[in-house]
Structure 1
Amino acid sequence: MFQPEQLSKLNDLESLVFDFIIKSPEKVQQMTIRDLASRVHVSTSTIVRLSTKLGFEGWADLKYYLKSQFREKTPEEQHYDNMLEFDLFLRRMNADTYQKRLNAAAQLIADADYTIFLGIGTSGSLSDYATKYFVNTGLRSFVISDPFQAVQVKGMGNIVAIILSVSGETTQVVNKELEFKSDGAKIISITNNEDCTVAKLADLQLSYNLVNEWSKMYPLGNLTTQLPVLAILEILSHKAIELNVKQEQAQEKKL
């Protein structure tokens, strides 16, 4: 439910609150933030910080997540718990802080001469889809389907590379990202968490923070839903082309 890298960031007071939440989730679901703060003898700001460190926008989002996780689930929900995670991601994505990141990424894309997509496996398929979607939107884009492929971006103008990776630790992807950076390209990463190598090397990172899901039949089969990635990519394309249209309209007015 919660990722180890998130829990490692908690201080002593936040860990105390988290311990109470884990041991008494049903009680916590009925509490206001002030009720919880009084019960565990901490400030409300401590609970807000805890919520943020766990990847939530605030206490309300954390409480919503607890209700969705601990209520009795329908057979459909039991069959695919990641749908609840995706619903939570959409709530986080609509928050002001995430929208600011999306807008900043869209501006990088709008200012670029070309957008390059890179990914391996499922992320490679999504990169191919993203390229088609961006081109259909009106943005000049292409995909690198082979991470070992040599790509010369110097002299191509302003380049933005969007790198897709669930783990953010695949060696070939990291090496290609370093190659892009050395050639002066701007990097936007889309990964499952912000503490991976790909995200740390990026100029701007977008993460979706879902619980990893693995195949029961094939241990190496990563089944973590990629619905957040599709949502991010499609939103970025629309935001970027809207910026381009506004820029063109502004230039026309000057003339």
Structure 2
Amino acid sequence: MFQPEQISKLNDLETLVFDFIIKSPEQVQQMTIRDLANHVHVSTSTIVRLCTKLGFEGWADLKFYLKNQTREKTPEEQHYDNMLEFNMFLRRMNTDAYQSRLNKAAQMISEADYTVFLGLGTSGSLSDYATKYFVNTGLRSFVITDPFQAIQVKGIGNIVAVILSVSGETEQVVNKELEFKASGAKIISITNHEDCTVAKLADHQLSYHLINEWSKQYPLGNLTTQLPVLAILEILAHKSIDYLVNKDK
């Protein structure tokens, strides 16, 4: 339901609120933010900070999540809870704050001569898809999916590298990111969480905050849905070409 790394960042007052939410989710759903603040004897700003640290845009976003967690689920939903996570991501993505982050990334891409996508495994497949999608949109792009491929981008213009990684900690990806930085490229990271090495090394980061899902048969099989990544990539392509078209006008 909530990520351990998110919970570990809560202070004492926020932990008090979180404890009450976990123990009484149905009661919390009927409360306003002021009701909850009065009940647990904290300020409303404490609750807002709690929501932010848990990956939500605000109190209404958290209540929506609780409502979907506690209602009776259909068999299809029980088999794929990440659909709820994806729904929550779409709500976050449509906020002004997230749109601002997308706009900044799109502007970086529009100002580049080339966009290079980098990823391994599933992220490599998505990088390949993103390259085709960007080229079809009219943006000059290419892809690197081989961890042993040399990075040679000096002298070919202004480069933006879009690095895809669920964990943001894959050694080969981090090494390639460092090569890009040494070559003078700007970095945009797309990771599950912003508190990872790939995101921290990036010039601009986008994250989607989903629950990690693993294969029941193959312990190393990461099945975390990549639907948010597809949404981010396609939106970036459209926003980037819009910037270019408007600039030409």
Q: Same fold (TM over 0.5)?
A: yes
C-alpha separation in 1, matches of 2:214 and 2:30: 33
Q: Aligned residue for 1:180?
A: 180
Q: Aligned residue for 1:30?
A: 30
User: How far is 1:148 from its partner?
Assistant: 1.1
Given the alignment of the two structures, is residue 50 of structure 1 paired with residue 44 of structure 2, yes or no?
no
Could you state the TM-score of these two structures normalised by the residue count of structure 2?
0.99
1:118/1:147 contact within 8 Å kept = no
CA displacement, residues 122-181 of structure 1 (integer Å, 9 cap, x when unaligned): 000000000000000000000002021002111011000000000000000000000000
Aligned partner of 1:105: which letter? A
Aligned partner of 2:244: which letter? N
Q: Which runs of 4+ in 1 moved over 4 A?
A: none
Given the alignment of the two structures, is residue 117 of structure 1 paired with residue 104 of structure 2, yes or no?
no
Given the alignment of the two structures, is residue 151 of structure 1 paired with residue 151 of structure 2, yes or no?
yes
C-alpha separation in 1, matches of 2:126 and 2:230: 8
> Number of paired residues?
249
The residue correspondences of 1:134-149 to structure 2 (distance < 5 A) are 134-149=134-149
**Identity rate, percent:** 84
C-alpha separation in 2, matches of 1:189 and 1:24: 37
Q: Aligned residue for 1:91?
A: 91
C-alpha separation in 2, matches of 1:62 and 1:226: 22
Secondary structure of 2:116's counterpart equals strand
User: How far is 1:76 from its partner?
Assistant: 1.0
C-alpha separation in 2, matches of 1:117 and 1:212: 23
User: How far is 1:98 from its partner?
Assistant: 0.6
C-alpha separation in 2, matches of 1:63 and 1:147: 42
C-alpha separation in 2, matches of 1:134 and 1:164: 15
Secondary structure of 1:225's counterpart equals coil
Could you state the TM-score of these two structures normalised by the residue count of structure 1?
0.97
Q: Aligned residue for 2:108?
A: 108
2:151/2:176 contact within 8 Å kept = no
C-alpha separation in 1, matches of 2:66 and 2:9: 20
C-alpha separation in 2, matches of 1:93 and 1:163: 19
The residue correspondences of 1:232-251 to structure 2 (distance < 5 A) are 232-249=232-249
Question: What root-mean-square deviation, in Å, do the aligned CA atoms of Structure 1 and Structure 2 show?
Answer: 0.5
The residue correspondences of 1:197-216 to structure 2 (distance < 5 A) are 197-216=197-216
Aligned partner of 1:22: which letter? I
Q: Extract unaligned runs of 5+ from structure 2.
A: none
